[in-house]
């Protein structure tokens, strides 16, 4: 899992005082529900004439990790999730042709994926050199970062990899590595291979002869084994875009997009909009550049058209953050629908989705339908995800037996259908979450859970999966929202990205540089330079920089904060202006002992702190 997933602050919903198995049986007994076999093949009692429609919307996003001056990525998560999740989440569907799904693949992710295919590398790959060439700091980097995956579910399953973790000492923090444990050159080579091998999806590992050979070999890997593995990763990455395009053209998948560098649209349009949900929140200087929001939308459409050969219909607002001002922009660009969170719907309606102690919605017709959002003289259909069920997949089911988890989800869908008995019309349940971060926490990754879930859904007659556009083409929204709450999926507000001391400093820096750029534009005649400088500003508007600052430990936030300043400094460098002093200093506190710590963008040797032993 990426650090983004390991340290995410979203909490799983509670499932009561019982463990998964007992919880399931008690729930059935309490509600008088039949046993599992009565649901197989769609034999459950028909509650309404129509099936219950299901929209799975997987959000696949990574921050823009690129240092535009070096053509390198400071983090490896595009590459690693590509070979574990982005290919396989789509490939698995080919076994289940009746299953329809929707994927949001963000432009920043796609741009970096294409960068790898052009030969760009990430800092983790810089430590993949022959072991005899590794420096002390590079070995220390391997010991800290080459166990960056779920340890109990993944590392512990592979004896040699787990042996290496034992030798490492089970440490997680950088300060643990002032001295190196006793590992041989063979250990370091095996570690290089195992880390990159376990990040390949289990089904791909089992189905590929070379990867299966590496698993069987287990130890004493060679430099040739390592090189073959890295070439295999590139082979998988090359297939991702063609596979998604193939499935979309076949009608099994719908692909949506998001503003190019993942900005929080309401805050880019006008950052004072955060106070609608949080009156009195301390704010930075005024920032309002709706033209930037439009440019990020336009660029996303252009990329989508180039890669997928058509216009996108769905728009995923980054972090599901919406405001009334966003809607006319989406309709101006021709988007046919958009999505947000259950909490945004209830805040807009002023009506809560009431749930029983097991999480079943007691007034399901409120949530399980699309709405026509009408504001500023325009309107667009919007769907709202079931926050509770999405979190069950994201944070709870990984503790269950995967088959039991899939059956419980099927049961919950039937319970929704039962609770809709007598309600007129059709209904759509939207399940939406990250398409990557949950799976390493599952037994055998996504393989057992998703295969069983899709197999069971193909058997059902009372449940039908759809793409969002497919559903909306047949079932227009019946109700209109004339008020749209301004907020995101996080507590129905946008305070995760603005309002704390250091987050506000980031916004002040962004506002200052954005204003300086406008002044430079008046006198600069080189259009290509202006274009490159503006690109750095658009990158700095991405949501992931303030997400980390004031929310995560220094050693996790520092690379993002440094990269943010790097992009802003690039504006001045490209235009031949002097870089302001404030962009050369970190706004974050130093390492715990108040030492200055390493330069976060200097590569792998800087991603663990210095001190102690010699090179």
pLDDT, tens only, 178-208: 788 899 999 999 999 999 999 999 999 999 9
Cβ neighbours of residue 510 under 8 Å, at least 6 residues apart?
287, 537, 540, 541, 568
Instruction: Give the phi and the psi of residue 486 in degrees, each rounded to 5.
Output: -95, 110
**How much is the average pLDDT of 238-249?**
98
Whether 43 shows a pLDDT value over 80: the answer reads no
563 shares a domain with 475: no
CA distance 517 to 540: 13
Question: Does a structural domain hold residue 467?
Answer: yes
Token reading at 409: 């989800």
CB atoms within 10 A of CB 225: 18
Question: Does a structural domain hold residue 487?
Answer: no
CB atoms within 10 A of CB 285: 13
Whether 32 shows a pLDDT value over 60: the answer reads no
376 shares a domain with 274: yes
Instruction: Give the phi and the psi of residue 103 in degrees, each rounded to 5.
Output: -120, 130
Question: Does a structural domain hold residue 101?
Answer: no
- The pLDDT, as a whole number, for residue 172 is 86
- The pLDDT, as a whole number, for residue 49 is 74
Q: What domain count does the chain have?
A: 3
Domain hosting 230: range is 115-241
Final residue of a structural domain among 481, 512, 533: 481
163 shares a domain with 269: no
Whether 38 shows a pLDDT value over 60: the answer reads no
Whether 326 shows a pLDDT value over 90: the answer reads yes
CA distance 21 to 115: 45
Lowest mean pLDDT among 99-113, 134-148, 253-267, 287-301: 134-148
Token reading at 230: 């890295």
Whether 71 shows a pLDDT value over 60: the answer reads yes
Whether 612 shows a pLDDT value over 50: the answer reads no
CA distance 234 to 227: 11
300 shares a domain with 438: yes
**How much is the average pLDDT of 404-416?**
98
The alpha helices in 420-467, defined as continuous H runs, are 447-459
**Where residue 486 falls among pLDDT bands split at 50, 70, 90?**
very high
Concatenated DSSP letters of 3-65: HHHHT----PPP--SS-HHHHHHHHHHHHTPPPGGGGGGG-SPP-SSSPEEEEEEEEE-----
CA distance 394 to 389: 9
CA distances from residue 408 to 20, 39, 358 in whole angstroms, order as listed: 9, 11, 11
**Where residue 56 falls among pLDDT bands split at 50, 70, 90?**
very high
545 shares a domain with 446: no
Token reading at 279: 């009156």
Question: Does a structural domain hold residue 251?
Answer: no
24 shares a domain with 121: no
Highest mean pLDDT: which of 140-149, 299-308, 592-601? 299-308
228 shares a domain with 161: yes
Pick 554 or 259 by higher pLDDT. Answer: 259
Question: Does a structural domain hold residue 464?
Answer: yes
Question: Does a structural domain hold residue 89?
Answer: no
CA distance 524 to 52: 58
380 shares a domain with 286: yes
400 shares a domain with 311: yes
Final residue of a structural domain among 450, 481, 512: 481
Domain of 599, CATH number, reads 1.20.1430
CA distance 333 to 301: 8
197 shares a domain with 325: no
235 shares a domain with 124: yes
Burial level of 466, CB count in 10 A (0-12/13-18/19+)?
A: buried
Q: Please give the share of the chain, as a percent, with pLDDT higher than 90.
A: 83
Question: Does a structural domain hold residue 81?
Answer: no
pLDDT in tens, 73-90: 999 999 999 999 999 999
Task: Give the alpha-carbon dihedral of 517, 518, 523, 528, to 10 degrees.
Answer: 60
Q: Among candidates 483, 508, 497, which has minimal Cα distance to 266?
A: 497
Question: Does a structural domain hold residue 533?
Answer: yes
Site of tokens 């973790």: 165
139 shares a domain with 270: no
**How much is the average pLDDT of 526-532?**
95
Domain of 362, CATH number, reads 3.20.110.20
């Amino acid at each position: 899992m990426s650090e983004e997933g390991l340290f995410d602050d979203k909490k799983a919903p509670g499932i009561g005082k019982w463990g998964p198995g007992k919880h399931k049986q008690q729930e059935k007994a309490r509600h008088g529900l039949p046993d599992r076999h009565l649901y197989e093949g769609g034999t459950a009692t028909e509650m309404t004439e129509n099936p219950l429609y299901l929209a799975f919307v997987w959000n696949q996003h990574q921050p823009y990790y690129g240092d535009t001056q070096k053509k390198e990525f400071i983090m490896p998560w595009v590459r690693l999730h590509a070979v574990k999740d982005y290919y396989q989440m789509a490939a698995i569907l080919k076994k289940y042709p009746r299953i329809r799904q929707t994927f949001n693949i963000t432009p920043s992710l796609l741009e970096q994926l294409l960068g790898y295919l052009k030969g760009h590398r990430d800092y983790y790959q810089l430590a993949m050199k022959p072991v005899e060439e590794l420096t002390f700091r590079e070995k220390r980097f391997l010991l800290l970062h080459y166990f960056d995956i779920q340890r109990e579910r993944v590392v512990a399953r592979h004896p040699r990899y787990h042996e290496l973790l034992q030798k490492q000492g089970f440490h997680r923090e950088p300060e643990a590595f002032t001295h190196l444990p006793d590992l041989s050159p063979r250990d370091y080579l095996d570690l290089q291979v195992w880390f990159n091998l376990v990040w390949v999806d289990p089904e791909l590992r089992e189905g590929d002869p070379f990867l299966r050979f590496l698993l069987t070999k287990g130890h004493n890997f060679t430099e040739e084994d390592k090189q073959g593995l890295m070439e295999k990763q590139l082979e998988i990455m090359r297939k991702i875009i063609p596979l998604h395009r193939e499935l979309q053209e076949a009608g099994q998948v719908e692909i949506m997009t998001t503003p190019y560098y993942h900005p929080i649209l309401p805050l880019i349009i006008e950052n004072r909009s955060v106070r609608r949900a949080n009156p009195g929140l301390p704010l930075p200087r005024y920032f309002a550049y709706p033209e930037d929001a439009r440019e990020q939308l336009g660029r996303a459409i252009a990329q989508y058209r180039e890669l997928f050969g058509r216009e996108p219909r769905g728009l995923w607002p980054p972090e599901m953050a919406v405001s009334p001002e966003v809607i006319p922009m989406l309709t101006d660009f021709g988007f046919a629908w958009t999505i947000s969170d259950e909490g945004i719907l209830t805040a807009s309606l002023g009506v809560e989705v009431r749930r029983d102690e097991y999480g079943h919605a007691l007034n399901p017709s409120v949530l399980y339908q699309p709405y026509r959002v009408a504001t500023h003289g325009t309107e667009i259909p919007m769907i709202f995800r079931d926050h509770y069920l999405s979190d069950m997949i994201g944070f709870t089911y990984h503790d269950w037996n995967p088959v039991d988890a899939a059956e419980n989800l099927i049961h919950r869908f039937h319970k929704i259908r039962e609770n809709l008995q007598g309600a007129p019309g059709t209904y759509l349940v939207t399940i939406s979450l990250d398409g990557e971060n949950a799976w390493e926490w599952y037994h055998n990754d996504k393989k057992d859970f998703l295969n069983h879930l899709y197999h069971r859904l193909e058997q059902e007659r009372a449940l039908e999966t759809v793409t969002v556009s497919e559903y909306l083409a047949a079932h227009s929204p019946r109700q209109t929202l004339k008020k749209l709450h301004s907020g995101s999926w996080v507590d129905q507000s946008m305070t995760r990205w603005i309002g704390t001391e250091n987050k506000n400093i980031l916004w002040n820096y962004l506002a200052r540089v954005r204003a300086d750029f406008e002044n430079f534009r008046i006198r600069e005649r080189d259009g290509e330079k202006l274009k490159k400088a503006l690109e750095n500003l658009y990158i700095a508007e991405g949501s992931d920089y303030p997400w980390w600052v004031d929310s995560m430990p220094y050693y996790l936030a520092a690379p993002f904060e440094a990269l943010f300043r790097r992009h802003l400094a690039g504006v001045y460098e490209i235009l031949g202006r002097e870089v302001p002093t404030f962009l050369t200093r970190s706004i974050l506190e130093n390492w715990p002992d108040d030492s200055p710590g390493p330069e976060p963008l200097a590569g792998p040797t800087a991603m663990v702190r210095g001190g102690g032993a010699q090179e």
